[in-house]
Structure formats: structure tokens, C-alpha cells
Amino acid sequence: MKISKVGINLIKQFEGCYLKAYRCPAGVLTIGYGCTVNVKEGQKITQEQADNMLMKELERFEIAIDKLGVKLNQNQFDALVSFSYNLGSGIFKGSLLQAIKQQNWDNVAKQMAMYNKARVNGVLTELKGLTRRRNAEVELFLKQEEIQPIQLETHTTTINLFGDIAKVQTINKDNSNYVKLRDIQCDNIKVGYANGNVTVNGIRINLDDTNSINIDGSNYVKLRSVLEELGFVVGYDNVNKIISVR
């Protein structure tokens, strides 16, 4: 997986961007958006370099989380990238790793929140900035992922039905054409509706999520899948952009 803009903005918010090297509260040389790799005292960079360094750095944390071998939603993935970017990918071990493997999300969030301390002058001290960051990461980790509705549009398509040319409304989804069965009725294709069932030439059609979609109350079926199952041949003329049925 790849971190989303939400996760990147979260990291930027808490890391801040510093174009000159500085020492963080834990005494580690840091530059850009929290980059600590090969940073030199007094080093200076541009904003563009800082952005590029961040994206490059994020790649190894994305890989590390993918290697956990657990299915995560985007919010969980983003939160763990931010969490490990701040603490290091080696943070996933022991009881935290076990909770992730068990997909005990409440326990994962509880343990994430505990990492709000750093050594200051040799003393393990709670840092308000870390507490705010852990709270934000936990909130994102537990946030239900918003599923964006798929936007499907109808297009006028030319279909050659056994030699007769017809213009019908189609929907293209995942490189498949969907049509209303009643729009392709002809002498060779007789569509019937009775008792909630759909038939073609007297044969009942089993419609489900794999071969049909409903748009504004209208049912569109996957043309090739449904008709070829009934013995028809469906082709596509890439040059003239015409679907043929025979």
C-alpha cells in the first residue's frame, strides 16, 4: 500500500519542516520533515529537497508495514506509517506486533498511545507534542474508512444486433459493457420479466453483483457475460467502436 494525502499531511503537521539541521528534544540531528538519516550539523536544504526527502523516506516505512502481513484499511495504514516514521520501523515487536497480527485494533490503539515519552537528559519524560501526535494517530487508526461511491456514467454505444444497428445506453465498468436487456431485444433476443425473475428466450438469468449493477433503479447487465452464457457471440470492433452480437 501507499500512504495517502491524509497520512502525509498528518506527518507534516507534527514533524514541521525545518530547512536547517537541528536537534530534536531527544538530541537527534534532524532536518526537513523529521529526517534523521545522514544529517550533518549545520546542513541546509531547500523546500523541494525536504519534500523529496520525505517521500523517499516514507517508502521504507510503507514496505515495513506491508511486511507485517495484515490487511489494513487506508486509515490504519496511514496511522501506522506516521507512528513508525516517528519511532522507527523496529517499533513493531512484542505485544504491539502480536496485537496487530491478531487484528485486535482496540489493543493496538491502546499500545500506540503509550509511546508518548522520550529520554530528555537521560530521563524518560512524557512530551506534550508526542502525546498530541499519538492521540491524532490513534484517532485516525480507529476512524472508520469512508467508502467513496463509484461514479458511473452512461454512454451511447452502437450495437450490431444480428445485422441490425441500434444505439443504446451503456455503462463501462472495469472494461466491461453493461446494458439494459430491454434495449437489446430483437427477434433473436426475447426478454421476459415475471415474478421478480428475468428471462432471455425463456431461460432464467441469474443476476448478482458479478454480472449486473443498478443505477437509479435501472438494472444493467454485463453484456458479454450474460449473452455468451446463453450461447450468443459478443465481439467488439475497436476501429469503428461497435459491439456486435450474433
The residues carrying an active-site annotation are 15, 24
Let me know if 24 is exposed, middle or buried by CB neighbors in 10 A (0-12, 13-18, 19+): middle
What's the rounded Cα separation, in Å, for the pair 221 and 194? 17
Three-class secondary structure assignment of 137-200: HHHHHHCCCCCCCCCCCEEEEEEEECCEEEEEEEEEECCEEEECHHHHCCCCCCEEEECCEEEE
Closest CA to 61 of 98, 36, 94, 38: 36
Compute, in degrees rounded to 10, the torsion defined by CA atoms 111, 97, 120, 25.
-90
